[in-house]
Structure 1
Amino acid sequence: MAMGKVPGDSEGGDEVGFAEINITPLTDIFLVLLIIFMVTSSVIVQQAPSGGAQTGLKVNLPKGGATDVTARATDMSVAILSDGRFVLGGNIVTEDELKRAFNDAQQKDPDTIVIVQADEGVPHGTVVQVMELAKGAGLGQLAIGVREPQ
């Protein structure tokens, strides 16, 4: 707290505290901070392109494929049942049989597309396991089968 002499006392009388506090600098600081906050928040928050909800920062999302994958005769379709079993060509196969089928398909045609069709209840790890088996056999073109929206 600032100290000073009592006005009118020229002989060095008692020192007392000032009765007033100048809040103008404090108000100026708060107003500047408010303006900075308003400007930065209006730059960060942008309206969605479709006129929908606020999206925050603009993110460049990847575009999905506009065309569906059409299965050729050489392509493989692997179904994963909800209990984790693999179905290839209508027959239930083991993981080793599936690996052999991927290797055979790669020998016949390296451009074979593996279409993975998994039940909704299948864990993500099982789908990744099948995709890794296909990639390990040299089949790098993978697709995920989905049902059409109704």
Structure 2
Amino acid sequence: MAMGKTPGDNEGDEGVFAEINITPLTDIFLVLLIIFMVTSSVIVQQGPGGGAKAGLKVNLPKGGAADVTARSTDLSVAVLADGRFVLSGNIVSEEELRKTFDDARAKDPDTVVIVQADEGVPHGTVVQVMELAKQAGLGQLAIGVRDGE
């Protein structure tokens, strides 16, 4: 069975030509692209970096400094607008935070403490968290900010 016209065909002017229509293929790829974009944004929002690993909404101040990539051993402490501390999705007291810092120092002295404070939190509360970390022997501190765009 021949695909297309051959010089010897005398069946008329019309023959069978094989053409690939890429419009349906393009539509399928665009739908898949949209699905991947939506699911990846959901995965990123539920990932370990956001809001003290629990999906908490903390209104971070804007900043333009270089990003700090969080390692699995790093601690992310969120300070809510009302002054409460959140660690790994749980609201903790100052004593529990101090004990967690001591435990982290025992496991890895190079643990970075990332403080994610709401814009409305007084400066003194952020300094208090940083002082607790320094008293426990954790000298590497970072402040979580959102992109300055």
User: Which SS does the other structure have where 2:106 is aligned?
Assistant: helix
Distance in structure 1 (CA, Å) of the matches to 2:77 and 2:95: 14
Give 1:70's aligned residue.
69
Give 1:126's aligned residue.
125
Query: 5+ residue gaps in structure 2?
Result: 1-62
CA 1:129–1:65 in 2, change beyond 3 Å: closer, same or farther?
A: same
Higher fraction of helix: 2
Give 2:136's aligned residue.
137
Query: 5+ residue gaps in structure 1?
Result: 1-63
Give 1:87's aligned residue.
86
1:148 Cα shift? 1.1
Distance in structure 2 (CA, Å) of the matches to 1:111 and 1:65: 24
Deviations 1:82-128 (A, max 9, x none): 00000000000000000000000000000000000000000000000
Count of matched residue positions in the alignment of Structure 1 and Structure 2: 87
Identity %, equivalent residues: 78
Deviations 1:111-146 (A, max 9, x none): 000000000000000000000000000000000000
**Structure of greater relative contact order (alpha carbons < 8 Å, 6+ residues apart):** 2
Instruction: Judge conservation of contact 2:64–2:148 (CA < 8 Å) in 1.
Output: no
Distance in structure 1 (CA, Å) of the matches to 2:113 and 2:66: 17
Distance in structure 1 (CA, Å) of the matches to 2:111 and 2:100: 12
For the aligned residue pairs, the C-alpha RMSD in angstroms reads: 1.6
Give 1:144's aligned amino acid.
I
Give 1:134's aligned amino acid.
A
Instruction: Judge conservation of contact 2:64–2:147 (CA < 8 Å) in 1.
Output: no
CA 1:66–1:79 in 2, change beyond 3 Å: closer, same or farther?
A: closer
